[in-house]
C-alpha cells in the first residue's frame, strides 16, 4: 500500500493551480472545489448494484467523471511548464489525479464487462482517430471478439474464461436489453479531435499574427508581396530523399560530445499514462565515446541468448504490477506483444504497483538525472514519467534532466529510412532502426521488453554515431551541435 498522506499534500497545492490554471484543456472553467472533494486515494468510481439500470447509470457517471479529470490533467503540463514565475511548486496534484483516473478507468472497464455479462450491450474496441474507444452496440446473441481486453470472471474461479471472448458468450444468465446506449458511449475520440482542432486554429492564428508582424517590420526579410519568407531559403528542397524537413523532434538529437548515457524503455498496459500502468522497466548504461568503465561486471544475461552485452553496463530489469480489478480484466493485446500476462501481475499476487512505490520512483529519478537518458520516441517515456515519478516534472523543469531520442536520429540521419507509401517518413520503428544499424539480426524482431529494447537501441545509437563521425555528418555536420545535445529545460545554451 502506498502512503496516502501525499494525496492530502497534493490537494494542498490546489490554490497554486487554481491561480495559474483557471481553465482545462477544453476551455472549461475548472471547478477546483469539485477536485478538492474527490477521494483520490480510495477511488472516484461508482460501484453499482447489479441491476441493468444501476450498471448503466454508474457507467454514465464514471464517463462524466473521467472526462472532467482528463481535461484537467491534459492542461496541467502546459500550465506547469509555462509557470515561469514558479508559482506552482509541485507536480504532485496531476500525479494524484492520474492515479485516481487509472483506477476509475479500471472501474469503467469492469462496468463494461458487467454490462456484457448481463447482455445489456456488446463491446467492441475500435480505433477512431487519435484514440481506441469502447463502442457499445445492442446485444444480438453473440458478442464481437475483443482483442484488446481479456475477460472479467465474476465466478471467482481463475481461468474461467479465455482472453478475447466476450462475457456475454460465457454467461449462463440471460438478461433483456433494457437500457439506452446513446448516453453511455465513449466520447474520448470526439473530445481529442475537438481539442486538436482548437490547437490547429490557435496555430493558424499565431502564424497569421507572425506574418502580419513581418509585413509591418520593414527591417525583416520579406518577399516582394510583403509576406515573410517561411523558413528562409533553407526551407526549399529539404523534404526530399533522406533529408526531411526539421521538426520539433530535432531538439532531442545528440550533440557531438555525447558520451555516458542511460538507455531506458518501458512497457505499459496501454498508451495513456493517465489510464494505464507501467508494468516493465528496463535500463542500462553505455558510453558512446569513452571506454567502458573498469570494474563493471563483464557479462549480463539478456532474455535473448544471441544478445551480447558488449559495452553495456549497469543493466537492470524491474517488474511491476496492476490493481486486482485490472488483473481480473486481463489484456490479451499486451500479453501477445510483450509476453506479460497482467492476470498474473495483480498486487494481490505480491507485485508492487509503480505508482504506489515511492522508493522505486526515487531510485529511477536518481538514475534519470545523473546523465542524459535515451529512449526511442522519448516523448512517450517522458509523458509517463511526468505522471508517475515523484519529482520528475520538477527536475525536468529545473533543467536537471536531459533527454536524447533515437527516433529523430533515424528520421534525420539514417539514409536507410527512405520514404515509402507505407512509411511516408521512412520506417523509423526501433526494430527497423536497430536492424539498419547492425544492432539486431534481420532474422529476429524487437522483443518489446524494457531491457532488451534498451540494449538494441543503445547499440544502434553507438554504431550510428561512429559512422556519422567517420563521414563528418550528423552531429559532426554543418548543422550539428557541440556538447551533449538532447532536450532539456532551463538550461542556457
Q: Are 375 and 264 in contact (CB under 8 A)?
A: yes
Q: What angle do CA 132, 137, 143 make, to 5 degrees?
A: 90
Name the phi and psi angles at 140, rounded to 5. -120, 15
The pLDDT assigned to 2 comes to: 53
Task: Give strand pairing partners of 125.
Answer: 134
Lowest mean pLDDT among 114-118, 195-199, 287-291: 195-199
The predicted model gives 411-433 an average pLDDT of: 88
Half-sphere exposure of 311 (CA within 13 A, CB side): 21
The pLDDT assigned to 284 comes to: 96
Model confidence over 44-69: pLDDT tens digits? 999 888 899 999 999 999 999 999 99
The predicted model gives 198-226 an average pLDDT of: 70
Confidence of residue 450 (pLDDT cuts 50, 70, 90): confident
Model confidence over 234-255: pLDDT tens digits? 333 333 345 667 788 999 999 9
C-alpha cell at 407: 527516433
The pLDDT assigned to 297 comes to: 83
The pLDDT assigned to 228 comes to: 46
> pLDDT higher for 208 or 31?
31
Confidence of residue 218 (pLDDT cuts 50, 70, 90): low
* CA separation for the pair 6, 417 (Å, rounded): 46
Mean pLDDT of the chain: 86
Place of cell 544492432: 439
User: Per-residue pLDDT for 437 more than 80?
Assistant: yes
* CA separation for the pair 382, 265 (Å, rounded): 11
- Positive or negative torsion for Cα 368, 374, 379, 380: negative
* CA separation for the pair 387, 473 (Å, rounded): 37
The pLDDT assigned to 300 comes to: 79
Model confidence over 13-37: pLDDT tens digits? 999 999 999 999 999 999 999 999 9
User: Per-residue pLDDT for 477 more than 80?
Assistant: yes
User: Per-residue pLDDT for 489 more than 50?
Assistant: yes
CA nearest neighbour of 283 among 306, 252, 310, 317 = 317
The predicted model gives 97-118 an average pLDDT of: 96
The β-bridge relationship of strands 403-405 and 373-375 is: parallel
User: Per-residue pLDDT for 72 more than 50?
Assistant: yes
**What is the 3-state secondary structure of the chain?**
CCCCHHHHHHHCCHHHHHHHCCECCCCCECCHHHHHHCCCCCCCCCCCCCCHHHHHHHHHHHHHHHHHHHHHHHHHHHHHHCCCCCCCCCCHHHHHHHHHHHHHHHHHHHHHHHHHHCCCCEEEEEEECCEEEEEEECCCCCCCCCCCCCCCCCCCCCCCCCCCCCHHHHCCCCCCCCCCCHHHCCCHHHHHHHHHHHHHHHHHHHHHHHHHHHHHCCCCCECCCCCECCCCHHHCCCCCCCCCCCCHHHHHCECCCCCEEEEEEEEECCCCCCCCCEEEEEEEEEECCCCCCCCCCCCCCCCCCCCCCCCCEEEEEEECCECHHHHHHCCHHHHHHHCCCHHHCEHHHCCCCHHHCHHHHHHHHHHHHHCCEEECCHHHHHHHHHHHCCCHHHHHHCCCCCEEEHHHHHHHHCCCCCCCCCCCCCCCCHHHHHHHCCCCCCCCCCCCCHHHHHHHHHHHHHHHHHHHHHHCCHHHCCCCCCCCECECCCCCC
The pLDDT assigned to 118 comes to: 93
Q: Are 274 and 299 in contact (CB under 8 A)?
A: no
Query: Percent of the chain having pLDDT more than 70?
Result: 85
User: Per-residue pLDDT for 76 more than 70?
Assistant: yes
The pLDDT assigned to 170 comes to: 44
The predicted model gives 168-191 an average pLDDT of: 73
> pLDDT higher for 481 or 224?
481
* CA separation for the pair 269, 177 (Å, rounded): 31
The pLDDT assigned to 233 comes to: 38
The pLDDT assigned to 204 comes to: 81
* CA separation for the pair 376, 414 (Å, rounded): 14
How buried is residue 135: exposed, middle or buried, by Cβ count under 10 Å (0-12/13-18/19+)? middle
* CA 167 to chain CA centroid, nearest Å: 29
Model confidence over 333-380: pLDDT tens digits? 999 989 899 999 999 999 999 999 999 999 999 999 999 999 999 999
The pLDDT assigned to 296 comes to: 86
Model confidence over 254-308: pLDDT tens digits? 999 999 999 999 999 999 999 999 999 999 999 999 999 998 887 778 877 778 8
The β-bridge relationship of strands 260-268 and 313-319 is: unpaired
Amino acid at each position: 500500500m502506498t502512503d496516502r498522506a501525499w494525496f492530502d499534500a497534493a490537494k494542498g497545492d490546489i490554490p497554486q493551480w487554481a491561480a495559474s490554471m483557471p481553465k482545462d484543456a477544453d476551455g472549461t472553467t475548472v471547478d477546483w472545489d469539485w477536485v478538492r472533494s474527490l477521494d483520490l486515494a480510495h477511488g472516484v468510481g461508482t460501484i453499482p448494484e447489479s441491476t441493468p439500470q444501476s450498471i448503466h447509470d454508474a457507467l454514465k457517471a464514471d464517463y462524466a467523471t473521467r472526462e472532467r479529470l482528463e481535461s484537467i490533467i491534459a492542461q496541467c503540463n502546459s500550465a506547469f511548464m509555462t509557470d515561469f514565475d514558479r508559482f506552482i511548486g509541485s507536480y504532485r496534484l496531476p500525479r494524484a489525479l492520474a492515479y485516481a483516473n487509472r483506477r476509475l478507468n479500471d472501474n469503467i472497464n469492469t462496468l463494461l464487462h458487467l454490462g456484457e455479462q448481463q447482455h445489456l450491450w456488446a463491446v467492441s474496441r475500435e480505433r477512431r482517430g487519435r484514440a481506441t474507444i469502447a463502442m457499445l452496440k445492442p446485444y444480438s446473441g453473440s458478442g464481437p471478439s475483443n482483442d484488446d481486453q481479456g475477460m472479467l470472471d465474476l465466478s471467482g474461479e481463475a481461468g474461467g474464461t479465455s482472453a478475447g471472448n466476450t462475457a456475454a458468450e460465457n454467461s449462463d444468465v440471460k438478461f433483456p436489453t433494457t437500457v439506452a446506449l446513446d448516453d453511455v458511449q465513449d466520447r474520448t475520440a470526439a473530445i481529442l479531435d475537438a481539442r486538436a482542432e482548437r490547437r490547429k486554429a490557435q496555430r493558424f492564428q499565431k502564424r497569421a499574427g507572425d506574418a502580419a508582424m513581418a509585413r509591418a517590420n520593414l527591417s525583416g526579410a520579406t518577399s516582394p508581396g510583403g509576406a515573410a519568407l517561411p523558413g528562409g531559403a533553407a526551407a526549399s528542397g529539404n523534404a526530399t530523399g533522406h533529408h526531411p524537413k526539421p521538426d520539433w523532434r530535432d531538439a532531442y538529437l545528440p550533440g557531438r560530445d555525447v558520451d555516458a548515457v542511460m538507455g531506458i524503455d518501458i512497457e505499459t498496459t496501454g498508451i495513456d499514462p493517465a489510464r494505464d500502468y507501467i508494468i516493465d522497466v528496463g535500463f542500462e548504461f553505455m558510453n558512446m565515446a569513452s571506454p567502458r568503465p573498469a570494474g563493471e561486471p563483464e557479462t549480463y544475461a539478456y532474455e535473448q541468448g544471441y544478445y551480447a552485452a558488449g559495452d553495456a553496463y549497469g543493466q537492470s530489469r524491474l517488474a511491476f504490477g496492476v490493481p486486482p480489478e485490472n488483473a481480473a480484466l486481463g489484456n490479451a493485446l499486451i500479453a501477445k506483444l510483450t509476453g506479460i500476462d497482467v492476470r498474473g501481475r495483480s498486487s494481490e499476487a505480491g507485485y508492487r504497483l509503480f505508482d504506489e512505490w515511492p522508493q522505486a520512483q526515487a531510485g529511477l529519478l536518481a538514475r534519470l538525472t545523473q546523465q542524459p537518458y535515451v529512449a526511442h520516441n522519448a516523448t512517450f517515456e517522458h509523458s509517463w514519467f511526468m505522471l508517475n515519478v515523484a519529482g520528475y516534472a520538477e527536475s525536468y523543469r529545473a533543467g536537471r534532466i536531459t533527454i536524447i531520442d533515437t527516433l529523430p536520429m533515424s528520421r534525420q540521419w539514417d539514409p536507410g529510412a527512405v520514404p515509402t507509401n507505407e512509411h511516408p517518413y521512412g520506417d523509423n520503428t526501433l526494430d527497423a532502426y536497430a536492424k539498419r544499424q547492425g544492432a539486431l539480426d534481420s532474422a529476429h524482431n524487437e522483443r518489446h521488453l524494457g531491457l532488451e529494447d534498451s540494449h538494441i537501441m543503445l547499440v544502434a545509437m553507438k554504431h550510428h554515431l561512429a559512422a556519422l563521425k567517420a563521414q563528418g555528418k550528423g552531429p559532426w555536420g554543418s548543422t550539428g551541435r557541440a556538447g551533449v545535445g538532447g532536450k532539456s529545460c532551463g538550461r542556457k545554451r
